[in-house]
Structure 1
Amino acid sequence: MRRIQLVLATLSLFTYSLGVNAQDKQVSGFNFPSDRKINVGVLVYDGVEIVDTGGPIDVFVKANNWNGKYNIYTVSATANKTIIMDGGTVNLIARYTIFDAPQADILVIPGTSPEIVKKISADNKMMDWIVKQNINTQMTMSVCTGGLILANTGLLNGRSATTHHWSIDELKSHKEINVQEKKRFVVDGKFLTGAGVTSGFDVALQAIELINGKEIADDIALGMVYNRYGDMLFLPKK
């Protein structure tokens, strides 16, 4: 009996060790600054979807209530800092432009209509800026059709990703991307992609969980009266 107990104890210790090592490996996958706030840059442009933009911003703002860890700012895709958001109902004044923005630790790319996606994806200066920022980001995330913008840079090649279900076929046209349908968000390495609009809450909360822990992420969701454990069963069957 004592021998069996010793074997079980050894196995338990081994399993615990594996769990700790796995957790250490996950944490060591990111290298967020310890001597300053984490820069969260949110790319904005004319026609950007309001909730795609405001959802992640609100999550990070609320995370600052716990630790004041995030420096959140908007970056205009052009030299003009005045952005007319989706529907022409809200004017936003970006703090920076792509010509003077600091390096983001977390880059957020909100979505818009498919027509505007095509238009802004043809803006080489903006697309080049995303690629250059991504070199030194710890996390690069997209919301809704922001995933198409990110896909058009080529950065998602060889990755799993998702986008709005109405645009999923367009994402599938990128053959190098492993498209995940009917998932609210997908995490592949440092890339986090959200399925659409309210999934911006999901990707931002997942980022908070990876950085600050599940308890804080769940507390933020609770304060926002948001169910971060919803599914995609409401989608029509094909």
Structure 2
Amino acid sequence: MSWRILAWTALGGMALLVAIGGTWLLLLPGTPASGTAPAIPRDEAEATLAALKPPKRKRPLIAIVGINDMSETTDYLMPYGILARANVADVLTLATQPGPVTLYPALRVQPHATIAEFDAAHPDGADYVIVPAMSRDDDAVALQWIRSQAGKGAIVIGVCVGATVVANTGLLDGKRATTHWYSVRDLQKHSTIRYTADRRLVVDQGVATTTGISASMPMALTLIEAIADRAKAEAVARDIGLAAWDARHRSDAFRFTRPFALTAIANTLAFWNREQLGIALTSDVDEVSLALIADSWSRTYRSRALTFAATAQARTSRGGLAILPDRITDDWPAQQALPGAGTSPPAQALNETLRAIDARYGSRTADFVAMQLEYPKPD
């Protein structure tokens, strides 16, 4: 009798969980809003550029800082690659500790220096500090270093969920800010921070923040324009395949929806059908395209993108960053190999990747990835 009671209790508990889960799914919105975001007023755009002017040096020093265990792939690599293309500043990637930086959800890189080495070489600090999303947004070493750089006059830029890292330093207290749509509530836990919707880039009193992952593209171009001029930013935009950019954004087009939740659940449960997809790692690889391709495929919940090469030696990217292969092989199965990074400009490579995900896993998974990247999926 006791076993029957236990069995019925377990079944009842499971039924209750299913009912609660089903109700939760039904209460989620079906589809996000659609439409075009309004243009940014000219005076606002000019104020943003003025606020991002180099604070100290004519040729600025830009530091991109991450923790060694899981800093976000595109947040870390895309600003570096775009700014290195422009050649209007000295750009360095940093880590809080010695050794490689393992990026999330894909890739490993050897940064140029540790924060201690940077401080020894540049005691007066950077002009700009770019902060990506990190697996720990309360890392004490990272927070203290970011605060110290702000104290030396650096403009601090929190990319995507890097905004919550910056928020934890206290530098956003009393200021306007934005972040990835999924982390807005985390930002709002800081009662004095004023969340600003419908802007991909927000600058307030020496601190800038952006929306989701793909926003580091317009952010980097805006920074290039502030440092140099519009012509230089337009030249770099053409090189990366971006026809236009600014801070316009429609925040309500990116939100947690029923299709998003169902895709996450379905793709997670399909663990037996998960793939490892390979990207050949070569010297002079385009780090921006590589980041976008590897990040996108690794966010499907159906696959993980890995780099491979014939030897363990790091390959130097187009912008001069050492990228380490994940696998040592020169014989990756053709049906599980992805196109090399650099065959298309980065923005085009991202669109091509989303189309390829659509063809391989379906439109819902492509929409799911685009939503995570906070990027409008191509038709």
Q: TM-score under structure 1 normalisation?
A: 0.76
2:126 is equivalent to residue 104 of structure 1: yes
Alignment of 1:93-132 (within 5 A): 93-101=110-118, 102=122, 103-112=125-134, 116-118=135-137, 121=138, 123-132=139-148
Alignment of 1:162-201 (within 5 A): 162-201=178-217
Shift of 1:51: 0.9
1:31 is matched with which residue? 55
Contact 1:147–1:162 under 8 Å retained in 2? yes
RMSD, aligned α-carbons: 2.6
2:77 is equivalent to residue 54 of structure 1: yes
1:53 and 1:178 map into 2 onto residues whose CA distance is: 25
Alignment of 1:158-237 (within 5 A): 158-226=174-242, 227-229=244-246, 231-232=249-250, 234-236=253-255
2:273 is matched with which residue? none
Q: Secondary structure at the match of 1:73?
A: strand
1:10 is matched with which residue? none
Deviation string, structure 1 residues 109-158 (Cα, Å, up to 9, x no partner): 0114xxx234xx1x322211110011124421011110000000000111
Contact 1:165–1:182 under 8 Å retained in 2? no
Contact 1:192–1:203 under 8 Å retained in 2? no
Contact 2:163–2:178 under 8 Å retained in 1? yes
Q: TM-score under structure 2 normalisation?
A: 0.49
Q: Secondary structure at the match of 1:100?
A: helix
Contact 2:63–2:126 under 8 Å retained in 1? yes
Shift of 1:237: 9.1
* Counterpart AA for 1:210: A
Shift of 1:82: 1.2
Shift of 1:30: 4.4
1:193 and 1:171 map into 2 onto residues whose CA distance is: 11
1:81 is matched with which residue? 99
Query: Greater Rg, structure 1 or structure 2?
Result: 2
1:91 is matched with which residue? 108
Q: Could you tell me the percent identity over the aligned residues?
A: 23
Q: Secondary structure at the match of 1:217?
A: helix
User: In the superposition, relative to structure 1, how do residues 28 and 86 fare at CA in structure 2: closer, same or farther (>3 Å)?
Assistant: closer
Contact 1:159–1:188 under 8 Å retained in 2? yes
2:180 and 2:75 map into 1 onto residues whose CA distance is: 11
2:174 and 2:201 map into 1 onto residues whose CA distance is: 17
2:203 and 2:142 map into 1 onto residues whose CA distance is: 24
User: In the superposition, relative to structure 1, how do residues 107 and 93 fare at CA in structure 2: closer, same or farther (>3 Å)?
Assistant: same
Contact 1:165–1:196 under 8 Å retained in 2? yes
2:240 and 2:53 map into 1 onto residues whose CA distance is: 29
Contact 1:82–1:94 under 8 Å retained in 2? yes
- Flag structure 2 segments of 5+ consecutive residues without an equivalent: 1-42, 258-379
1:43 is matched with which residue? 65
User: In the superposition, relative to structure 1, how do residues 163 and 117 fare at CA in structure 2: closer, same or farther (>3 Å)?
Assistant: farther
Q: Secondary structure at the match of 2:165?
A: helix
Shift of 1:207: 1.4
User: In the superposition, relative to structure 1, how do residues 146 and 27 fare at CA in structure 2: closer, same or farther (>3 Å)?
Assistant: closer
Q: Secondary structure at the match of 1:133?
A: helix
Contact 2:55–2:127 under 8 Å retained in 1? no
Q: Secondary structure at the match of 1:220?
A: helix
1:150 and 1:52 map into 2 onto residues whose CA distance is: 14
* Counterpart AA for 1:63: A
Q: Secondary structure at the match of 2:198?
A: coil
Q: Secondary structure at the match of 2:71?
A: coil
Shift of 1:28: 10
